[in-house]
Structure 1
Amino acid sequence: MLNSGSEVPTKPGIFSGRMFAPGLDGVGVPATAHWQHGSLQVHAAGRTWTSGVQATVQSGGFNAAQLALVWVDLEGECRFYVDAGAPRAAFAAGLPAHLSPQHRAAGQASARVERRFRLWWAALGLLALVPVLVVALLLTRVDSAVGWLVTYIPHEQEAKLGDLVLVQTRARMRVIESGPAVDAVRLIGERLTTGSAYSYRWLVVDQPELNAFAAPGGVVVVYSGLLQAAKTPEEAAGVIAHEVAHAELRHGLQGMVKTLGVRAGAAVLLGDWSGAALGQAMTSLLEMKFSREAEAAADTEGLRRLVAARINPAGMADFMDTLALQSPGAAVPELLSTHPASEDRAARLREAARAYPGPWTALPVDWAALQKRLPGADKPGSAQ
């Protein structure tokens, strides 16, 4: 029902809100209202509206936080939205009994939506914190995070990374394809890797530096300079065992992920071989410096493999002596730049080797003949 020209009442029980009705501004107008004989009397814009018996209580608004009384009169639908706070209490106090269930339902709907919004904002907050938490984790628990990721990388995927390094090695270095050095490295390597999950690839490269490295997935590269410096095949076997241990313990993969970022590890895990980060794998492996813990673990595992293969483990410590005896003033051997040695470490290796008395099986390699066939064997200072 519509009455024109009425003044806004000032009696107790009046509460404020906003009125929407035909003929009013589309965004509604400020209004006051009060209950009278079970109907709502609304006063706004110099007019008065009276709700009918079919009026309903509804929740509305973006988050269902608004409370409205809705009815239809001769001009169309009318909506009175009660302001929050004290007006809501006054509205509820005079509410007719037949509208109480609807009022409770509207309040429950508003509470449900409010809870959803709180959860939504909490989820957004957590989502925004994820990058921060990841960075914090990588900074404070980088080893744990990298170790966790690497455990999910299958050996088959890791082997593909080894294939990539293999291709890059062949592109950047001259690989010695055959001969006694290649046969000896393969013979030693196969004895050290019995039962491995990897299918190893053994490479000897024509490089004068005293160096060797293991790539993820079972690729071991030995420099001719190292074979030339080793006094016995057991010394070379000690280095190869140490590198095999790095591969079996996945130190190279862990170091690559740590150096190049978790993105590189995720690329390996997902089989994405197009990323630029993986293109840096060769360089990172050549320059990688393992932690003392990783070096100690590789020493222990390398010695264990030498013993299992019946190769004298003293060769690992003996080669450190060989490195130390390099001519004074010469450049630091390449192997020492990435695998730091020390007197204590050599002593620990020698002491550990003494715990295994043998007997040992001599490696069937004519070491002197092998060294004579290496590139540069006729240069001054090379082993004869």
Structure 2
Amino acid sequence: MKNPIAQGLITIVLFFGTWFILAQIDWITVFRVQRVTDRTDEKLGKLLWEMIQESEEENVNPFVINSVDSIVSKICSANNIERQLIKVHIIEKDDINAFALPNGHLVINSGLILNSDNQEELSGVICHEIAHVRLNHVMKKLVKEVGLSVLISMTTGNRGSEVIKETVKTLSSSAFDRNLEKEADIEAVDYLMKAKINPEPFANFLYKLSDKENEATKYLTWVSTHPDSKERAEYIIEYSGDKKIAYEAILKSETWDKLKEKLME
């Protein structure tokens, strides 16, 4: 039989040991930093998007906006993500690219939509970028590569436009850490399957881009910011497995075709 006295002593030691460790943490500072980070996230997202608006043409065609919004809304609804937290912007740019900004801003280039063979490929990329937002990868990347103090100073007007431009460039044309990329891929597959969207086309999209990874072209921005496309495609296929899901299209085929037509006008 176990000694109840010894068990009691162990419990007491563990309790006070845990209490001592937690007591060493300055929780006020921790929560203050979190509040500062949250406020910075909101202000920074607005600031960076306004910078992009100044240099790029945003697509405001109602049909284009509503079509893409249907995809995003379905993904959010199926995954219990507050739709209003994802702010979608479509810009007229040939680069095959999409990227996330702080505070849930999701920028999608028209070139990505036009070079997606089907809506499932586009949905996969959208899910991947939403995952970066939901997993807080965007701010983690900026804090690591730019620094929290610089980010805070930007939101208080103490940094010039060149710093803001470089920050936008960091998010739109430089890669995330390999572990963060894989985490976002896996999360994206979960989003897709819960929304009853076949994840295989997303893997095929990565296979397609992997064939062009060695091509020197400005149009393959998403390749340079998301390297190792073939390896990623393989573990997406492996992770999604043979789950028995009745996949459904979000957009009607004629809506998808018309979306592309509108972007080419």
Which category of TM-score, normalised to the shorter sequence, fits these structures? 0.7 to 0.9
Higher RCO (CA-CA < 8 Å; seq separation 6+): 2
In the alignment, which residue of structure 2 is the partner of 1:320?
Answer: 206
In the alignment, which residue of structure 2 is the partner of 1:228?
Answer: 114
Q: Unmatched 5+ residue regions in structure 2?
A: 1-30
SS in 2 for 1:174: coil
- Counterparts of 2:63 and 2:205, CA distance in 1: 20
Classify 1:159/1:205 alpha carbon distance in 2 versus 1 (closer, same or farther; 3 Å): same
In the alignment, which residue of structure 2 is the partner of 1:341?
Answer: 228
How far 1:182 moved relative to its partner?
Answer: 2.2
Bigger proportion of residues as helix: 2
AA of the residue aligned to 1:275: R
The range that moved more, 233-242 or 360-369, is: 360-369
How far 1:322 moved relative to its partner?
Answer: 2.9
- Counterparts of 2:216 and 2:256, CA distance in 1: 25
Q: Deviation per CA, 1:102-134: give whole Å up to 9, x if none.
A: xxxxxxxxxxxxxxxxxxxxxxxxxxxxxxxxx
- Counterparts of 2:250 and 2:60, CA distance in 1: 21
AA of the residue aligned to 2:48: V
Q: Deviation per CA, 1:76-111: give whole Å up to 9, x if none.
A: xxxxxxxxxxxxxxxxxxxxxxxxxxxxxxxxxxxx
Counterpart check, 1:275 vs 2:143: no
In the alignment, which residue of structure 2 is the partner of 1:46?
Answer: none
Contact kept in structure 2, 1:212 and 1:226, CA below 8 Å:
yes
Q: 1:109-124 residue pairs with structure 2 within 5 A? A: none
Select 1:242's aligned residue among 119, 128, 141.
128
Classify 1:266/1:319 alpha carbon distance in 2 versus 1 (closer, same or farther; 3 Å): same
Counterpart check, 1:252 vs 2:141: no
- Counterparts of 2:238 and 2:251, CA distance in 1: 26
TM-score normalised by the chain length of structure 2: 0.76
Percentage identity across paired residues of the two chains? 26
Q: Deviation per CA, 1:316-349: give whole Å up to 9, x if none.
A: 2121133245599562611011111332221111
Contact kept in structure 2, 1:229 and 1:322, CA below 8 Å:
no
AA of the residue aligned to 1:264: V
In the alignment, which residue of structure 2 is the partner of 1:191?
Answer: 74
The range that moved more, 289-298 or 330-339, is: 330-339
Q: Deviation per CA, 1:240-265: give whole Å up to 9, x if none.
A: 00011111112121111222223124
In the alignment, which residue of structure 2 is the partner of 1:371?
Answer: 260
Classify 1:181/1:315 alpha carbon distance in 2 versus 1 (closer, same or farther; 3 Å): farther
Counterpart check, 1:356 vs 2:243: yes
SS in 1 for 2:85: coil
- Counterparts of 2:148 and 2:40, CA distance in 1: 15
AA of the residue aligned to 1:190: S
TM-score normalised by the chain length of structure 1: 0.54
- Counterparts of 1:150 and 1:355, CA distance in 2: 44
In the alignment, which residue of structure 1 is the partner of 2:5?
Answer: none
Contact kept in structure 2, 1:264 and 1:278, CA below 8 Å:
no
- Counterparts of 2:91 and 2:165, CA distance in 1: 20
- Counterparts of 1:150 and 1:207, CA distance in 2: 37
How far 1:266 moved relative to its partner?
Answer: 4.3
Select 1:310's aligned residue among 181, 193, 196.
196
- Counterparts of 2:153 and 2:188, CA distance in 1: 30
> How large is the RMSD of aligned CA atoms in angstroms?
2.8
- Counterparts of 1:359 and 1:246, CA distance in 2: 27
- Counterparts of 1:355 and 1:152, CA distance in 2: 43
Number of matched residues? 228
Classify 1:189/1:273 alpha carbon distance in 2 versus 1 (closer, same or farther; 3 Å): farther
In the alignment, which residue of structure 2 is the partner of 1:159?
Answer: 42
How far 1:353 moved relative to its partner?
Answer: 2.0
Bigger proportion of residues as strand: 1
- Counterparts of 1:218 and 1:196, CA distance in 2: 11
Contact kept in structure 2, 1:208 and 1:224, CA below 8 Å:
yes
Classify 1:179/1:266 alpha carbon distance in 2 versus 1 (closer, same or farther; 3 Å): closer
Q: Unmatched 5+ residue regions in structure 1?
A: 1-147, 377-384
AA of the residue aligned to 1:196: I
Counterpart check, 1:207 vs 2:90: no
Contact kept in structure 1, 2:44 and 2:151, CA below 8 Å:
no
SS in 2 for 1:193: helix
- Counterparts of 2:134 and 2:115, CA distance in 1: 26
